[in-house]
Amino acid sequence: MAVLESVDPITQEKIGESLVSTEPEIERAVAQARKAFFVWSQVSPAERACFIIKARDYLRDNREEIAVLISRESGKPQFEALVSEIAVAIDIMTYYSRRACEFLARARVPLHSLVMSLSKKAYIAYEPVGVVGIITPWNYPLSNAMSPVICALLAGNTVVYKPSEATPIVGRKIVEILRAGGLPENVLQVIIGAGDVGAALLTMPIDQVHFTGSAATGRTVAEAAAKKMIPYTLELGGSDPMIVFEDANLERAANAAFWGRFANAGQTCAAVKRVFVEESVADRFVGALKERAQSLKRSGSSIERELGALINEKQFLLIKRQLEDSIRGGAQVVAGGLALKDSRGHFFEPTILVTDRDDICAMKEETFGPVLAVRAFKTEDEAVRLANNTDYGLSASIFTKNKERALALARRLQAGSVSINDAMAVFSTPELPFGGVKSSGIGFSHGGADGLRHFTRRKGILADRWGSKAELYWYPYGEKKYRLFSKLIGWLYDTLDFLN
């Protein structure tokens, strides 16, 4: 295996234990956020958007320096830090800042019923919820956090944010970026520490929680939120399938599967983890993957490298165990398979497994590292069954030249999003909801107007138009009125039903 080089990584020791937030500090942060909420919630969406746009400009102007920081702390290639994190965050900030006024404006709602539309006016108002707790993971420390943070802020909430204990420096940087945009004090605060700090935050008087991380921790977060009766969103793991039909552009499909699996060293919730390829082209497809595995640049400067380090030893040992289990279960290693641990980090060769079983680890479990499982299928029904045969349902991709077939198939896949002739592109499309079904989560992190509105309380407002003395259905009741209403209901939902 070629020697893998990484720029001097930032280690946890350099961060220092003393930065971990204590319970009184978390309590104080939430209390300060509550105070700040009274002011921030009164700031107009247009003004809030100005802060976010200024912060975006700071991120844009300092992108290379911040890319180095992300790369050093997470081990990912600098190119991925720049493109998959910084560019994505800049775009989401731009999209929502430009549309915050429109998405948060009180909306007039047309009433469907003739009687109601003649007598009432209806509105929906979007009001901030209060203090939002946001807990995020280490795999995309900037973009995974920036999206919910800025949506919650633009919606008028204050935020107490806990980054992963594996990437606290980028976590603090996010607050610095937003402060550079002039964000007032205590509107966004960061607390530092591991799971116990996240758990402590959930015991505090917060009004909503957004969590991105593993399914196991997501369940704990949901339980804590249910106890407090507060809304929550969970964006969890995935074991995303890709289905490749024989009529697909195989070159593009192989490139997509390869990048979709090995980018970020495979540590992406929406990575391509299982490929199902039509039998007639399976050998060609696997051959194309093998070629790419050999040419992936593992060494050179952080800008040159194409394969990053795994985040830590825990992940390294986990992926090693999953690979060994899969091989014991009969999977054939057609590329990679080697793991390397040295003073600069934990690395894993891009590994491709071919199998005809669905009970091996690489098919059953979420693999959060550079291991891709490939299996051949004969019929479309078989491909759908195999693709859906997982507890997860984050995203999926389909490769075929037949667009109609792809759109019909997309409906049959149990996934929060589907890419056609593409991979891992939905998260960076802010117009689309990004979230999962089954064990991949509840709700979504962004996606058009709902991305901002799910950090609000929707208030229904109904106003009478004419100011008559009383409505017909108010007191007094009586036999005559009863008969009249019975007739009216009959007319309205029978003879006049075409008006509804």
Residue from 6, 84, 217, 322 in contact with ligand ADP (CB under 6 A): 217
Contact by Cβ (8 Å): 350, 2: no
Number of residues located near ligand ADP, criterion CB under 6 A: 17
The closest alpha carbon to 170, from 23, 59, 8, belongs to 59
Query: What is the distance, to the nearest Å, from the Cα of residue 32 to the centroid of all Cα atoms in its chain?
Result: 28
Neighbours of 250 (CB within 10 A): 18
- Does position 199 interact with ligand ADP (CB under 6 A)? The reply is yes
Q: Residue 203, interface with ligand ADP (CB under 6 A)?
A: no
- Tally Cβ neighbours within 10 Å of residue 254: 24
Tokens at 467, concatenated: 């100011």
226 is a site residue for ligand ADP (CB under 6 A):
no
- Site track for ligand ADP across 105-134, x = CB under 6 A: ------------------------------
Member of 9, 43, 117, 195 binding ligand ADP (CB under 6 A): 195
Distance CA 256, CA 50 (A): 37
CB of 445 to ligand ADP, least distance (A): 14
**What are phi and psi for residue 15, nearest 5 degrees?**
-75, -40
Distance in Å, CB of 373 to ligand ADP, minimum: 20
Residue facing ligand ADP at closest CB distance: 198
Alpha-carbon distances, residue 368 vs 193, 238, 314, 316, 320 (angstroms): 22, 9, 11, 9, 11
HSE (CB half, 13 Å, CA atoms) of 270? 27
Please identify, using beta-carbon distances, which residue of 213 and 430 lies nearer to ligand ADP.
Answer: 213
Tell me how many degrees the CA angle 143-147-152 measures, rounded to the nearest 5: 150
220 binds ligand ADP (CB under 6 A): yes
Q: Which residues pair with 188 in a beta bridge?
A: 159
- At closest approach, how far in Å is the CB of 69 from ligand ADP? 18
Single residue of 70, 88, 135, 178 touching ligand ADP by CB under 6 A: 135
Which parts of 272-394 fold into alpha helices (H)? 279-295, 313-328, 361-364, 380-388
Cβ-based nearer residue to ligand ADP, 20 or 199: 199
Number of other residues whose CB lies within 10 A of the CB of residue 469: 5
Q: Which of residues 23-52 bind ligand ADP (CB under 6 A)?
A: none
Q: Taking CB under 6 A as the rule, does residue 370 contact ligand ADP?
A: no
Identity of the residue, 176 or 196, whose beta carbon is nearer to ligand ADP in the bound complex: 196
The residues that are catalytic are 235, 269
Measure the CA–CA gap between 421 and 170, rounded to whole angstroms: 33
**Interaction of residue 448 with ligand ADP, rule CB under 6 A:** no
Give me the least distance between CB of 16 and ligand ADP, in Å please: 17
Q: Which range in 210-218, 293-301, 355-363, 401-409 contacts ligand ADP by CB under 6 A?
A: 210-218
CB of 138 to ligand ADP, least distance (A): 6
Sole window of 21-29, 102-110, 197-205, 242-250 interacting with ligand ADP (rule: CB under 6 A): 197-205
Q: What residues contact residue 258 under an 8 Å CB cut-off, 6+ apart?
A: 289, 292, 293, 350, 372
What's the rounded Cα separation, in Å, for the pair 190 and 176? 10
Residue with Cβ nearer ligand ADP (170 or 383): 170
Report the residue count for the chain: 500
Q: Report the nearest approach of ligand ADP to the CB of residue 199 (Å).
A: 4
| Segment near ligand ADP (CB under 6 A); pick from 119-127, 211-219, 293-301, 342-350 | 211-219
- In the sheet where 351-354 sits, what is the strand order? 332-335, 351-354, 371-377, 272-278, 240-244, 395-399, 417-420
Q: What residues are paired with 209 via a beta bridge?
A: 133, 232
Binding part of the chain for ligand ADP, among 177-185, 195-203, 269-277, 442-450 by CB under 6 A, reads: 195-203
Q: Which positions from 140 to 169 touch ligand ADP by CB under 6 A, shown as an x/- string? A: ----------------------x-xx----
Q: Which of 128, 130, 137, 260 binds ligand ADP (CB under 6 A)?
A: 137
What are the helix (H) ranges across 155-194? 168-180
| 136 versus 390: smaller Cβ distance to ligand ADP | 136
Tell me whether residue 9 or residue 195 sits nearer to ligand ADP (CB atom): 195
Give the binding site for ligand ADP (CB under 6 A): 135-138, 162, 164-165, 194-195, 198-199, 202, 213-214, 217, 220-221
